[in-house]
Amino acid sequence: MDVLLVDGYNMIGDWPELQVLKDKDLDQARQILIEKMAEYKAYRGYRVIVVFDAYEVKGLGSEDNKYDVEIIYTREKETADECIERLVKQLKNVRTKVYVATSDYTEQRTIFQQGAYRKSARELELEIKHIQAEITEDLVRYKAQKQTRQPIVNDTVWEALEKMRRGE
């Protein structure tokens, strides 16, 4: 299974929709990002891990799971970049492609050296918008197909089956 590691605050700082929220309600910006990553996971089938930097926060760090998306808050004095680099080393193998979503150029170079692929914040945002458009198209197509379906049996057969069911 392919893995997408997301530098959470990098996405929040880069995506216009989340930039607006980050100064007003950072928690809501995180929540929206996690929801978008859940859609991404459901559509692409990747394992998705979102890493939030807790460099300035005291504590051991924590892990959570919302909507089947793994969320990591780094431990004290650990940056998201350091955590992502550690995860790339752990997860990268012959069968697993690891993608890292970050626009941090230094981080991109580091993960390239470890054999991971990169997605910039802009690329991931565009991919998510494309997925949302595909989902909308699929729903429209499904509804149209559902309305034009022909019944499996005609009315005469249906009535005969109904009589048999009732024992008439």
3-class state of residue 13 by DSSP: helix
Q: What's the angle, vertex CA 27, arms to CA 20 and CA 87, rounded to 5?
A: 105
Cα–Cα dist 18/94, whole Å: 35
Q: Is the pTM of this model over 0.85?
A: no
Supply the mean pLDDT for the chain. Answer: 85
* Listed ranges 31-40, 72-81, 97-106; the one with the highest mean pLDDT: 31-40
- Terminal CA-CA length for the chain: 55
- Residue 57 reports pLDDT greater than 60: no
Q: What's the average model confidence in pLDDT over 95-106?
A: 87
140 token code pair: 């429209």
Percentage of the residues of the chain whose pLDDT score is greater than 70? 90
Residues 2-27: tens digit of each pLDDT: 999 999 999 999 999 999 988 888 88
More confident residue, 95 or 127: 127
Q: At residue 117, does pLDDT exceed 70?
A: yes
Bigger pLDDT: 92 vs 55: 92
Give the pLDDT of residue 150.
64
65 forms beta bridges with: 70
pLDDT band of residue 151 (cuts 50, 70, 90) is low
Given a cut of 60, whether residue 113 has pLDDT beyond it is yes
Structural domains of the chain in order of their starting residue, each with its CATH number? 3-140 (3.40.50)
Question: Which pLDDT band holds residue 105 (cuts at 50, 70, 90)?
Answer: confident
